[in-house]
């Protein structure tokens, strides 16, 4: 999760909006929606969320590699 479009090796990068933040122990779960890609859930530390100034409605960029993805059936 990035506040600006990441550069470098991630091939799968798209913008999104944080729609929900829930606490999961030592991590925060972010529900990120986008009109360019499926919704995704990212887990980050509270420290990362504070540094990135993440809140509901924050516009973010997501970047993932195939090895970081877990598909969860609905």
Q: What fold does the segment set 12-64 form as a domain?
A: OB fold (Dihydrolipoamide Acetyltransferase, E2P) (2.40.50)
Which pLDDT does position 16 carry in this prediction?
96
Tokens of 11: 């091939």
Helix (H, G, I), strand (E, B) or coil at 25: coil
Q: Give SS3 for 29.
A: strand
How far lies 56's CA from each of 11, 22, 53, in Å?
26, 10, 10
Per-residue pLDDT at 4 exceeds 90? yes
pLDDT (0 to 100) of residue 10: 66
The domain spans of the chain are: 12-64
Residue range 26-64, pLDDT digits in tens: 999 999 999 988 898 999 999 999 999 999 999 999 987
């Amino acid at each position: 999760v990035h506040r600006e479009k990441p550069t470098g090796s991630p091939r799968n990068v798209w913008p999104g909006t944080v729609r929900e933040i829930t606490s999961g122990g030592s991590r925060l779960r972010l529900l990120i929606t986008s009109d360019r890609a499926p919704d995704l859930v990212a887990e980050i530390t509270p420290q990362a969320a504070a540094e990135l100034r993440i809140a509901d409605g924050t516009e973010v960029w997501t970047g993932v590699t195939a090895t970081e993805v877990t598909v969860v059936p609905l």
